[in-house]
Each structure stands twice: as C-alpha cells, then as structure tokens.
Amino acid sequence: MPIAAHASSEASPKPADAFSLDQWKITLPSDDNDDGKPDEISVAKLSKFSHPNFFYLDSTGGMVFAAPNKAPTTANSTNTRSELRHMLRGKNTRIGTHEPANNFAVEARKGSDKFGSVGGKLEATLKVDHVSTAAGDPDKRSAYSAVVGQIHAVKHKSTRSGFGYGNEPIKIYYKKFPEHETGSVFWTYELNLAKDNPDRTDLAVPVFGYDWDGRQDPGESGIALGEEFSYTINVHRNTMYLTFHNERLGTVRHVRSLVRPANTLDNPYAYAGDSLYFKAGIYNQCSTRSGKSMWYAGCPGTGDWKADKANGHYAQATFSRLVVGASTPPAQSGASSASNGSW
C-alpha cells in the first residue's frame, strides 16, 4: 500500500492532532513505496499522517509507535524503528538535514551560534506496551529491549576533526525478560570514538531496576509493561541533566558533561565538537541478525506484521506527552542535585 494511502482524512484522528509535531519527521519499519529503504514522512506531511500498524493515536489519545523484529532498517542499523527525528528547521527544506541550522550543539562548540539552538530539552511521558518475547541469543545485551529516546550525533564522511562519528551520548532503554514480572529502565552513554575503535562501547546507568546486564527480576524496583514513566533530557550549555520519574518509584536524576570524557578511553572532548539532535519513539533492539556482535540477538520474525504481532515478535510504546524546546538552567530542571559519580 503506498504511503499516501496511509495519510489520514481530515476527519480521522492522527498523532499531530494531539501532539505538536511541527519539528519532527518519522522513520517507519515499512517500505510502502518499494524503494528498498524504510519509509520516511517529512515534517510537512506528518501533520496529516498516521499508519494503522506503526504510528497512530489510540482510543485514549496516546501516540503509539510499533516496530516488528523483522522489517526494513536504516543503512547503519540492523534494528527496526518507528521513531521521530527532531528537525529544528521545521518545514524549511532549504536547510539541509545535517546542516548546523537543523541541529543543536553544546555551548563550547566552535561556531555554536550558527546552530539551530545551543542545547535543548526533550520531555516525554510514556509506557512500554511490549518488547520481543523471544531471542535466539537471550544472553546478548540487546535481547528483549527497546530504545524510547535518545540524542544522536550527525555522522560525517570526514572525521579528521575528531568528531562526526555518529554516536549517541544518550539512549534510554527499557528491557524486560519474558519470565520477569517487571523490566528495567536505564540509559547508556557511548564513548565518542570511531566505529572501528575497539574501545568504543556503551556505559550503562540503571534508573529503575537494573542495566542490561542484570539478569534478576527487578520486581517492585522495576517498571511493568503498561506502567507509565517519564524522562527529561535537558542539555543546558555543556551539560546533560537527566530526570526520570515514576508515580510509584519517585524521581531519579543524573548529570553528565558532554565536553569532558567519561573515562580515560573516551574522546578527550566527549561530544563538544558534534552536531546533535533528539529522537523519540520505539527503536526495537531485538535484531533478527545473528553473529558475534552484542547487537545481534537473533530474534525471530517473518516480516509479516500480522503474524509477528500475534507471535510477540515486536516492540511498542505509547506516549502521552512529548515536548521539545529550549534548554533550562539546572535549578529549573531540578537536575543539579545528583550525578553519576566521577563521569
């Protein structure tokens, strides 16, 4: 079915009716135009768009994102996604996607005044409805998990400056083993190094429950499927202030500099020279690919949405709030009172 066929009629409810999406585009786990790539819906078209399987409003007005284990993926990933990408340019396509005016930077970056903004803030309230219930290699960190929010750095062909690797200073994960009562919420910081550098890895920080190496059932310290929680990523000046909240478990705050290395292996200037942007939705980490990489969990999937959904081979999240805007000083964000140790 062509993409245009999924565009909602004026009378049909669509995500943009309930959420401000005038600075977002979306990548979907579909190839309805048969070009061999995942479908992308531009900022201009997103206001009238919904997809009956992967991006729609539910009966409560929640914005639903779904991604099967097996579907078209972007060029640099083996994982499917139904995920929004922040576009500071809005509908002004005269500004290139990777140009400074469409992205944000930390204050310390040379030429930061040429960017769409210095820093920024992403706030979301959501519940994870489902993660894949099967994995060929359940010991892989990525098994049974999904990313629901992140900051991504723009990838450049030339990395002579020491930046432009396209890494992520934060990814927010939800992971739940099929036999467990609840799942864990944690975030990772990727050492900002070249892809072929063996030291490039992700440092994980638990929020509710454990990180991706925790094999115990989090029980009451974790978040159940369908249980709401919120996150705020507030990049103010040169620092990332994180706030997580759950009605039952309370508030957790962390702080991470984006201009100082996380450890002795990290880029000495962290992400100080990168162009950055927010993403939100569901980025299914249960890849169907098998192999030595920690990202290849060998998760089952047929590519037929109806069959894969019935078999539990998908990830899904529902957002009740998604707001993006200018950063705020830490006293206002309430995130200055805690940090994750020395890094």
Taking alpha carbons only, the member of 243, 151, 239, 148 closest to residue 189 is 151
**How would residue 12 be classed by pLDDT, with cut points 50, 70 and 90?**
confident
Is residue 258 predicted with pLDDT exceeding 60? yes
Mean pLDDT over each residue of the chain, to the nearest integer: 93
pLDDT band at 7 (very low <50, low <70, confident <90, very high): low
Give pLDDT, residue 342.
Answer: 38
Asked if pLDDT for residue 10 goes beyond 90, the answer is no
pLDDT of residue 339: 45
Confidence at 340, pLDDT banded by 50, 70, 90: very low
Tell me the average pLDDT across 325-330.
Answer: 96
Taking the C-alpha atoms of residue 33 and residue 168, their distance in angstroms, rounded to an integer, is 29
- Could you read off the pLDDT of 60-76 as tens digits, one per residue? 999 999 999 999 998 88
Instruction: Report DSSP letters for 38-80, one per residue.
Output: --EE-HHHHTTB-BTTTEEE-TTS-EEEEEESSS---TT-SS-
Task: Identify which of 171, 175, 201 has the alpha carbon closest to the alpha carbon of residue 188.
Answer: 171
Least confident of 3-17, 239-253, 265-279: 3-17
pLDDT of 1 > 70? The answer is no
Reduced to 3 states (helix: H, G, I; strand: E, B; else coil), residue 328 is coil
The residue assigned the tokens 């990814």 is 171
Phi first, then psi: give them for residue 18, nearest 5 degrees.
Answer: -115, -15
Q: What is the pLDDT of residue 335?
A: 40
Contacts of 17 (CB under 8 A, 6+ apart): 57
pLDDT reading at 338 higher than 90: no
Distance CA 221, CA 248 (A): 9
Residue 333, pLDDT score:
45
- Report the pLDDT value the prediction gives residue 20, as an integer from 0 to 100: 98
DSSP letters, 254-298, are: EEEESSS-SSTTS-TTTTTT--EEEEEEEEE---S-BSSSTT-B-
Q: In this model, does residue 42 exceed pLDDT 80?
A: yes
Strand order across the beta sheet in which 120-130 lies: 55-57, 63-68, 314-325, 120-130, 228-236, 239-246, 250-257
What is the mean pLDDT of the segment spanning 16-45? 96
Q: What percent of the chain has pLDDT over 70?
A: 93
Its pTM surpasses 0.85:
yes
pLDDT tops 90 at residue 5: no
Each residue's pLDDT tens digit, 132-170? 999 999 999 999 999 999 999 999 999 999 999 999 999
